[in-house]
Amino acid sequence: MKKQPIGVFDSGLGGLTILNALRRELPQEDLIYFGDTANVPYGSKSKTAVTKFSLAIARFLQSQGVKLIIVACNTASAQALAELRKQISVPVMGVIEPGAEKAVHTTRNGRVAVLGTEGTVKSRAYPKALLKRRPGLHITQQPCPLFVPLVEENWGQKPAAELIAREYLAPVKQSGADTVILGCTHYPVLKPMLAAILGKKVTLVDSADTLAEAARAFLTEHGLAQTRGKGRVRIFASDDPARFKRMAGCLLAEKIGAVRLKKLTL
Which has the closest alpha carbon to 42: 72, 62, 69?
A: 72
Catalytic residue, chosen from 73, 151, 198, 237, is 73
Q: In Å, how far are 23, 44, 105, 180 from 156, measured between CA atoms?
A: 24, 20, 29, 19
Active site residue 144: no
Contacts of 11 by beta carbon, 8 Å cutoff, 6+ apart: 35, 36, 39, 40, 41, 42, 43, 53, 73, 75, 76, 148
Contacts of 13 by beta carbon, 8 Å cutoff, 6+ apart: 35, 37, 151, 152, 186, 244, 247, 248, 251
Active site residue 184: yes
- Measured CA to CA, the distance from residue 122 to residue 258 in angstroms comes to 37
Catalytic residue, chosen from 18, 112, 121, 184, is 184
- Measured CA to CA, the distance from residue 131 to residue 126 in angstroms comes to 8
Q: CA torsion angle for 250, 42, 107, 94 (degrees, to 10)?
A: -90
Which has the closest alpha carbon to 234: 265, 253, 259?
A: 259
The H or E element that residue 10 is part of is strand 6-10
- Measured CA to CA, the distance from residue 219 to residue 224 in angstroms comes to 5
Q: List, by residue number, the catalytic residues.
A: 73, 184
